[in-house]
Structure formats: C-alpha cells, structure tokens
Amino acid sequence: MSEIIIQIDGREVAAEEGMTVLNAAQKAGISIPTLCYLETLEPYGACRLCTVEVEVRGRTNLVAACLYPVEKDLIVRTRTEKVDRIRKVILELLLAHAPEARGLKMQEYAEEYGADKNRYEKEPSFCIQCGLCVRYCAEVKKKNAICFVNKGPSREIQFIPEIASKECWNCTECFPLCPTEYLQGLFVLTKALAFPSAPMGPSVEE
C-alpha cells in the first residue's frame, strides 16, 4: 500500500491508498460529523452530513467525505463557512423528519451547527433514511429481514414478516443503531408482525 499525503484543515495527514477522506481524517483525529456511517458497513453516503470541501488542482468541490477516496495533493477543508451552512440545512431538513430525535449525535450536531428544528414544516416519520438498520441486517447479520420499500416521499423501512418473525426478537441489534430513536425499529417491527399483510404504502391497498 502506497502512502499518500493529503492536507486536511491545513494539516499534513498521511493516508493509504483506497482510504476515504473520512477514514484519513478520523485517523488523524479530525472529527467530521456523520450519521449514516458505521465502520463495519460499506459507506453509503445517505445523510450527506460529512460533506467537506475538497480542492484538486485548484478546483474546489463539495463531496461526501465517507465516499470520496484520497488522492495525491488533495486539500480538504472540513469547517469552512459554506460547509457549516450546508450541514446546518441538512440537519434542519433531517430534524423536520425526527424533531424529537433522542439519538445523542443528532442533538449534539444540531447544537453545534445551530440548526433550528422548527425551520421546516414537520413530517415526523422518525426515519431519516440513513439505511443503517437495512444495511446492518444485510451486510453483518446477512438476514435481510428489513428493507426499503416504495420511492420518493413514501419511501420507508419495512420488516419482512416472513423473516422477521423468525429472526428479529433474538437479535434486535439494529435498534440501537438508529440515529433518531431506539423505539423506531421496535415500532416498525411490531407493526410488520401484527399486520403482516398491511399496505405497502399510501397508494397501495391490499
């Protein structure tokens, strides 16, 4: 593995080829906020909270740090005014879906970036679609008991009753992963088991 030197917030940071900007920053002790990132899972880039500014050959661009691979002479800025503003809006939009999020991370970030949870019209679904539960079940547990269904505004997580009834009560490892609410997983699971033939979405009736 060849070593690559990149610059993060003015500091020289050594990284290995194949690492992402987020990995490199974490190794150097520079914190970048994340909600949908978990070391054991493939990077997903759903929450976009890890947005940073990168400069390559004089051009700047906004990228998701959890997906962007390091390259030679890369300059990364994690706390510019623009990046902070973007993170603030992302948090405000996410908080509109989970205004009472008890997940510590989200509250901390909201305070740090001055995000106002009342800025956007609330739609408390308690799900910010980070996909942590879905990916954890598929990648780590290899059970595929929970999946995303529908698309656009009606996209939501759903347990598959056929699999969930056998596997989930003995596992429940996805519950604490949720950045908004531990009980979210429990609620969706109970709903799926209690109403196995429940509608797949608002527009579909069975």
Partner 1 sequence: MNNEKIEQILNEHQGQPGALIKVLMEIQEENHWLPREVLVQVSEKLEVPLSRVLRIATIYKTFSLTPKGRYQVNICTGTACQVRGAQQVLEEVQKLTGIKPGETGPDMKFSLETVNCQGCCSLGPLVEIDGKTHGKTAPAEIADALKKYE
CB of residue 93 vs partner 1: minimum separation in angstroms? 22
**Strands 3-8 vs 75-77: parallel, antiparallel or unpaired:** parallel
CA separation for the pair 54, 21 (Å, rounded): 9
Which regions of the chain does DSSP assign to beta strands (E)? 3-8, 11-16, 51-56, 59-64, 75-77, 146-149, 156-159
Q: Are strands 156-159 and 146-149 parallel, antiparallel or unpaired?
A: antiparallel
**Which of 70, 160, 178, 188 contacts partner 1 by CB under 8 A?**
160
Closest distance between partner 1 and the C-beta of residue 50, in Å? 25
In whole angstroms, how close is the CB of 143 to partner 1 at the nearest point?
9
Site for partner 1 in 4-43 (CB under 8 A): none
* Binding flag, residue 194, partner 1 (CB under 8 A): no
Neighbours of 190 (CB within 10 A): 14
Q: Does 198 bind partner 1 (CB under 8 A)?
A: no
d(CA 182, CA 130): 14
> Which of 70/134 has CB closer to partner 1?
134
Evaluate whether 132 touches 179 at the Cβ level (below 8 Å): yes
Q: Site for partner 1 (CB under 8 A): which residue of 26, 129, 150, 165? A: 150
Q: In terms of CB distance, is 90 or 145 closer to partner 1?
A: 145
CB closer to partner 1 out of 3 and 206: 206
Say which residue the tokens 């527009």 belong to.
Answer: 203
Nearer to partner 1, 154 or 172 (CB): 154
Cβ closest to partner 1, residue 121 vs residue 206: 206
User: Judged by CB under 8 A, does residue 193 bind partner 1?
Assistant: no
* Tokens coding 206: 């069975």
Q: How far apart are CA 4 and CA 72, in angstroms?
A: 6
Residues within the interface to partner 1 (CB under 8 A) = 134, 137-138, 144-151, 158, 160, 162-163, 197, 200-201, 203-206
